[in-house]
């Protein structure tokens, strides 16, 4: 699939104000600074569709973009707020996660959530717990490891093996995994063809 057009639709905190759920939808989420904006911009061939490096914790809205709107295969891309930013007070964190969890649980057309994970870090509790929560709530997701250009090929291999063994302590099988680098434009075709194949079942 090629992305021919990508445009911003609406931002809000309320699932009832999100666009009518008449197209397949995919959400992108991860810890602040994971590289989410860069990945979205890479997928959409845009420099500034999602805003990179905004002050973490500032983009606390559900952001809808419509992709390929004038084609036969339009879909929604949703840029969700980054989680786990240390400077956000705990109270705000739970309120903040509240509308995201409600969105993830209740959005009827949400076909898959892309959980972005920084490949430079050891498995983080917050990511593992978030994925467990998705699993418990039967919310389909895949993992996208970001910034893999920072790793040499042997390091990448051992990172992936280590992550997998950590997850398999809890999971019966590993979710689908993609590796990406916005810097090197890697992972784009794989992610877009995955979306394309899921769209076929819509
Ligand atoms: P967000 O907060 O998750 O939206 O993250 P951003 O896309 O704003 O990226 C956070 C930081 O990571 C920025 O300094 C980016 O330049 C950097 N970054 C994002 N993607 C990559 C990548 O693929 N490779 C490298 N090396 N750096 C990246």
163-193 tens-digit pLDDT: 999 999 999 999 999 999 999 999 999 999 9
On whether residue 1 sits in a domain, the answer given is no
The pLDDT of residue 158 is above 70: yes
Provide CB contacts within 8 A for 121, sequence distance 6+.
Answer: none
Indicate the pLDDT class of residue 56, thresholds 50, 70 and 90: low
Specify the pLDDT at position 24.
98
On whether residue 202 sits in a domain, the answer given is no
Specify the pLDDT at position 47.
86
Spatial distance between the Cα atoms of 174 and 163, rounded to a whole number of angstroms: 10
Task: Tell me the best of 35, 49, 79 to mutate to test the pocket of ligand 1, counting ligand atoms within 8 Å of each CB and taking the most.
Answer: 35
On whether residue 159 sits in a domain, the answer given is yes
Specify the pLDDT at position 147.
98
Query: Does the beta carbon of 124 sit less than 6 angstroms from any atom of ligand 1?
Result: no
Spatial distance between the Cα atoms of 61 and 79, rounded to a whole number of angstroms: 8
Specify the pLDDT at position 10.
94
Query: Does the beta carbon of 32 sit less than 6 angstroms from any atom of ligand 1?
Result: yes
Is the separation of the CB atoms in 12 and 62 below 8 Å?
yes
Parallel, antiparallel, or unpaired for β 177-179 and 25-30? unpaired
> What are 36's two structure tokens?
């989410």
The CATH number given to whatever domain includes residue 138 is 3.40.50.300
Question: Element (H or E) spanning 199, and its range?
Answer: helix 188-200
Q: Whose CA is nearest to atom 25 of ligand 1?
A: 147
Range of the domain at 44: 6-197
Domain count along the chain: 1
On whether residue 124 sits in a domain, the answer given is yes
Specify the pLDDT at position 17.
94
On whether residue 127 sits in a domain, the answer given is yes
Cα 112 to averaged position of ligand 1 atoms, centre (Å): 22
Nearest Cα to Cα of residue 176 among 136, 131, 133, 137: 131
Query: b or e along 96-120 (b: 16 or more beta carbons within 10 Å of the residue's beta carbon)?
Result: bbebbbebbeebebbbbbbbbbbbe
CA 117 to chain centre: 9
On whether residue 80 sits in a domain, the answer given is yes
> What are 168's two structure tokens?
């398999």
Polymer length in residues for the chain: 202
Specify the pLDDT at position 98.
82
Mean pLDDT score, 67-96: 79
On whether residue 19 sits in a domain, the answer given is yes
On whether residue 143 sits in a domain, the answer given is yes
Reported pTM: 0.94
Mean pLDDT score, 121-142: 93
């Amino acid at each position: 699939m090629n992305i021919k057009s990508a445009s911003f639709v609406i931002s809000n905190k309320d699932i009832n104000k999100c666009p009518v759920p008449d197209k397949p939808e995919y959400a992108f989420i991860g810890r602040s600074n994971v590289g989410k904006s860069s990945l979205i911009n890479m997928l959409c061939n845009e420099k500034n569709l999602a805003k990179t490096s905004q002050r973490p914790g500032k983009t606390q809205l559900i952001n809808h973009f419509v992709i390929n709107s004038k084609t036969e295969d339009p879909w929604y891309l949703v840029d969700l707020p980054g989680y786990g930013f240390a400077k956000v007070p705990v109270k705000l964190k739970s309120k903040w996660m509240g509308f995201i969890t409600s969105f993830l649980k209740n959005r009827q057309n949400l076909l898959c959530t892309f959980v972005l994970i920084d490949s430079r870090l050891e498995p983080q509790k917050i990511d593992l717990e978030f994925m467990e929560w998705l699993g418990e709530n039967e919310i389909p997701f895949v993992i996208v490891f970001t910034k893999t250009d920072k790793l040499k090929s042997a390091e990448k291999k051992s990172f992936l093996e280590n992550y997998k063994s950590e997850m398999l302590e809890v999971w019966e099988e590993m979710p689908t995994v993609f590796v990406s680098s916005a810097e090197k434009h890697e992972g784009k075709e794989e992610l877009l063809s995955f979306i394309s194949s899921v769209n076929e079942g819509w």
